[in-house]
């Protein structure tokens, strides 16, 4: 008899553990992608809010996946001429191939809200494996999330990894001269919603 009473609880627990698909909220004020350059000669941060895609997350099983796209042509450093150069074929070729895609291939839970994520990064027609650290935090829908323009539950995702420019066909003399680092830290911070 006791096992029969436990059955509904077990069924409910397994229903709650199902993976949920979250879509990146199309809100410029909550999403940000940055790539930072810091050298002895030139410092700048390239920024955009143009990120889209989906994150699948199961908070009970602590598993998930991500399929994200950043519009590289929208990256801005605050200097229009430098931005124009970055979009050219000499640099990232964003004028012809603006999409930067990240697709996870493995997600490992670490602790708290922290995960280790392995995935593929595609840019300038080149795909490479990257390993990143990620923070994932789920907030059930409430007055604050709704006031921010988020319709359903809010999934905050922050992913950080390093991009080696030469791996993606960037061989500009500014990299060789030390004005721009060959390896840039990149961070993607976004809010996704299940509605």
pLDDT range class, residue 172, cuts 50, 70, 90: confident
CB 116, CB 131: distance < 8 Å: yes
Helix (H, G, I), strand (E, B) or coil at 14: helix
> What pLDDT, on a 0 to 100 scale, did the predictor assign at position 16?
54
Tell me the pLDDT tens digit for each residue of 181-194: 999 999 999 999 99
Structural domains of the chain ordered from first start? 21-193 (2.40.128.110)
What is the value of pTM for the model shown? 0.87
Mean of pLDDT values over 155-173? 93
For tokens 């990240």, name the residue. 102
Mean of pLDDT values over 24-39? 93
Question: For residue 63, is pLDDT > 50?
Answer: yes
Nearest by Cα to 155 from 27, 64, 51, 24: 24
Mean of pLDDT values over 153-170? 94
Tell me the pLDDT tens digit for each residue of 4-26: 444 444 444 444 568 999 999 99
CB 24, CB 54: distance < 8 Å: yes
> What pLDDT, on a 0 to 100 scale, did the predictor assign at position 17?
60
> What pLDDT, on a 0 to 100 scale, did the predictor assign at position 8?
47
């Amino acid at each position: 008899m006791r096992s029969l009473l436990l059955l509904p609880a077990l069924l409910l627990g397994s229903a709650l553990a199902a993976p949920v698909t979250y879509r990146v909220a199309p809100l410029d004020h909550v999403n940000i992608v940055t790539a930072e350059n810091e050298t002895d000669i030139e410092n700048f941060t390239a920024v955009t809010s143009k990120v889209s895609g989906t994150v699948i997350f199961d908070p009970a099983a602590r598993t998930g996946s991500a399929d994200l796209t950043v519009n590289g042509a929208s990256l801005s450093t605050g200097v229009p001429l430098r931005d124009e150069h970055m979009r050219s074929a000499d640099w990232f070729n964003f004028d012809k191939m603006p999409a930067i895609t990240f697709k996870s291939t493995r997600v490992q839970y670490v602790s708290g809200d922290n995960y280790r994520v392995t995935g593929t990064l595609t840019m300038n027609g080149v795909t490479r494996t990257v390993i990143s650290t990620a923070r994932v935090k789920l907030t059930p829908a409430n007055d604050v999330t709704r006031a921010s323009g988020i319709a359903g539950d809010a999934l905050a995702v922050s992913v950080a990894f390093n991009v080696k420019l030469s791996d993606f066909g960037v061989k500009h003399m500014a990299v060789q001269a030390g004005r721009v680092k060959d390896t840039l830290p990149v961070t993607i911070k976004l809010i996704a919603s299940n509605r």
